[in-house]
């Protein structure tokens, strides 16, 4: 049996259409668009692509975006200064500092300099704290929020089910585990988080009703690691050198799609799964930030 393909692009279009309506109402009510600032430090090729795609989506939805590109050798204080000045600007409601930055810059210091009310990437400790406290006024990181929406909008039950998350990063694994663990209609799962020190990994992953891979290793999750009939969400984006492609590479997820698709009940592809949802949820978070800062609406 071949798994149902969970089309992240299609689900993202639903989310974006709703968000676009919200942006229209916001503009009519406040006479200005929601504003989002991107900060990119250095010339990481993937970051250039990601920020470009996010800025393009802002344009499509009527969100005003500005991209600040800083040289890789810029001193950390100057990045902090820029973030500080963006915090003060009333027409900028969201700030996204793209990772990775240059090794000389302490990413934590930069993330913590963002006003939590403008932290649309959900990376500030105040927002991570709100996630722990199950407080809806915070911002959940976009990729975890996107994974949750894929499950919810595909009609996949989360409550009471066993979720195994592979990966414990600050931006993906940990917030995702918390989102699905929290109380309420779109969560209530029993969650296990695995990482590079987890023993007998395959034994743990085989217990999952919903298995989510976010580790950054191409085709790491094999069919043997997946229970028959499980739902598999592949967050991984791995660039595999490929001279036959114009870009010189193709993308693969963390899941061995060709084998796992035969065993799972449902699965997200790469590309076209979680990626489009990440951008959609960034738009949603930006509109939410703008509404909160303008006092609802
Ligand atoms: P990360 O910060 O490198 O974290 C990777 C996590 O995987 C770590 O917790 C690590 O464990 C764990 N891990 C590594 N090797 C492992 C192994 N052999 N067994 C078990 N766990 C292992 O990566 P990330 O930022 O979370 O991103 C993960 C993947 O998702 C990457 O491919 C990234 O490109 C992709 N991504 C996609 C989107 C999207 O929009 N689709 C967004 C963000 C990220 P330790 O903590 O023990 O080191």
Q: Is the CB of 238 under 6 A from ligand 1?
A: yes
CA of 215 to the centre of ligand 1 (A): 3
CB 23 within 8 A of CB 57: no
pTM for the predicted model, two decimal places: 0.97
CA dist 42 and 44 (Å) reads: 6
pLDDT at 296: 55
Is 120 strand, coil or helix?
Answer: coil
d(CA 205, CA 20): 38
- What is the C-alpha separation between 205 and 41, in angstroms, rounded? 37
CA gap 128, 184 in Å, rounded: 18
Two structure tokens written together for 166: 């592979």
Measured in degrees and rounded to the nearest 5, phi and psi for residue 15 equal: -60, -45
Separation CA 174–CA 54 (nearest Å)? 23
Supply the pLDDT for residue 185. Answer: 77
Q: Which atom of ligand 1 is nearest to the CA of 274?
A: 41
Residue 172 CB–ligand 1 contact under 6 Å: yes
Hunting for tokens 């890789």 — which residue is that?
Answer: 72
Nearest residue to 83 via CA among 48, 104, 56, 108: 108
Catalytic residue among 115, 118, 119, 121: 121
Find the helix or strand (DSSP H, E) in which 251 lies.
strand 249-252
* Segment 4-41, tens digit of pLDDT: 999 999 999 999 999 999 999 999 999 999 999 999 99
* Res 281: pLDDT: 98
Mention every residue, 6+ apart, whose C-beta is less than 8 A from residue 50.
98
> Environment class of residue 4 by beta-carbon count within 10 Å: exposed (0-12), middle (13-18) or buried (19+)?
middle
pLDDT computed for residue 297 by the predictor = 46
> What pLDDT sits at residue 205?
98
* Annotation says 121 is catalytic: yes
Q: Mutate which of 50, 123, 145, 196 to test ligand 1's pocket (most atoms within 8 Å of Cβ)?
A: 196
Q: What are 241's two structure tokens?
A: 């050198």
Instruction: Answer for the pair 266, 233: CB distance below 8 angstroms, yes or no.
Output: no
With a cut of 50, list the residues of the chain below it in pLDDT.
Answer: 297
Give distance in angstroms: CA of 234 to centre of ligand 1: 11
Q: Mind listing the pLDDT tens digit for each residue in 266-280?
A: 999 999 999 999 999
Which domains are seen in the chain, by residue range? 30-115 (3.40.50.10860), 142-275 (3.40.50.720)
The tokens for 231 are 């739902």
């Amino acid at each position: 049996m071949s798994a149902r393909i969970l089309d992240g692009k299609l689900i993202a279009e639903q989310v974006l259409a709703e968000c676009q309506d919200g942006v229209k109402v916001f503009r009519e009510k406040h006479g200005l668009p929601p504003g989002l600032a991107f900060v990119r430090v250095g010339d990481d090729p993937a970051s250039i692509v990601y920020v470009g795609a996010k800025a393009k989506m802002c344009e499509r939805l009527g969100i005003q975006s500005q991209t600040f590109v800083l040289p890789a050798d810029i001193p950390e204080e100057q990045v902090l200064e820029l973030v500080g000045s963006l915090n003060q600007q009333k027409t900028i409601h969201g700030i996204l500092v793209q990772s990775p930055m240059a090794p000389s810059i302490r990413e934590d210091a930069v993330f913590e300099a963002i006003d939590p009310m403008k932290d649309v990437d959900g990376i500030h400790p105040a927002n991570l704290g709100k996630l722990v406290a199950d407080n809806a006024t915070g911002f959940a990181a976009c990729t975890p929020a996107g994974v949750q929406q894929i499950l919810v909008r595909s009609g996949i039950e989360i409550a009471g089910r066993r979720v195994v998350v592979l990966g414990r990063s600050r931006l993906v694994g940990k917030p995702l585990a918390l989102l699905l663990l929290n109380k309420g209609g779109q969560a209530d799962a029993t969650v296990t988080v695995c990482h590079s020190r987890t023993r007998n990994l395959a034994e743990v992953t085989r217990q999952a009703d919903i298995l989510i891979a976010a580790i950054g290793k191409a085709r790491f999750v094999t069919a043997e690691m997946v229970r028959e009939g499980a739902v598999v969400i592949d967050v991984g984006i791995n660039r595999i050198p490929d001279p036959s492609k114009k870009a010189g590479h193709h993308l693969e997820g963390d899941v061995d799609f060709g084998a796992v698709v035969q065993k799972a009940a449902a699965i997200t592809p790469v590309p076209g799964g979680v990626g489009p949802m990440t951008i959609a949820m960034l738009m949603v978070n930006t509109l939410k930030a703008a509404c909160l800062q303008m006092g609802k609406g």
